[in-house]
Amino acid sequence: MYTYRLSLLLSLLLAANAYAGDATLRQPRPDLITAGQPSAQQLRDAAANGVTTVIDLRRTDEDRGYDEAALAEQLGLRYVRLPIAGAGDITESNARTLDRLLKQDGGKTLLHCASSNRAGALLSVIEARVNGAAMDDALKFGRDAGMTSLEPAVRAVLETPTP
């Protein structure tokens, strides 16, 4: 049943993405969906299909097209903002903060930015620095979650020795 509902959720969200032209949804782990900016309908679909938390990595000045925080609250979703501006904010500290946020909820999480690039980048750092993955494996995980142009920033973080 769980697998069916998750497949249904992904199908609904992917169909909505195709119609709206939004970024592709990805599922790097069973309890985690990464995406670009979800539409209001996609957020409703996510809530109806078991997503319990939305983590938004976009800055407050980035237009979402609707009041995402208010809609999430109306839908009973936990809504968390962790503003990540770009390459300069791809840090081990921000990755560890995101890791703590992801671990605070036992349900499914929708993690998004504008295109999944920031989401994938921070997840890549988590894979290496928190979960102990090798750099190549961590980078692959990040790309699978949506990382694109931020890969050099992730490499810089991962190539810096931890204190």
* Residue pointed to by tokens 């938390």: 53
Euclidean distance between CA atoms 162 and 26, whole angstroms: 29
Whole-structure pTM value: 0.86
- Its CATH architecture, for the domain 2-159, is Alpha-Beta Complex (3.90)
Q: 12: which 2 tokens?
A: 């609904």
CB atoms within 10 A of CB 79: 17
pLDDT tens per residue across span 124-156: 999 999 999 999 999 999 999 999 999 999 999
Q: Is 31 exposed, middle or buried (0-12, 13-18, 19+ CB in 10 A)?
A: middle
Euclidean distance between CA atoms 159 and 49, whole angstroms: 39
pLDDT tens per residue across span 67-101: 999 999 999 999 999 999 999 999 999 999 999 99
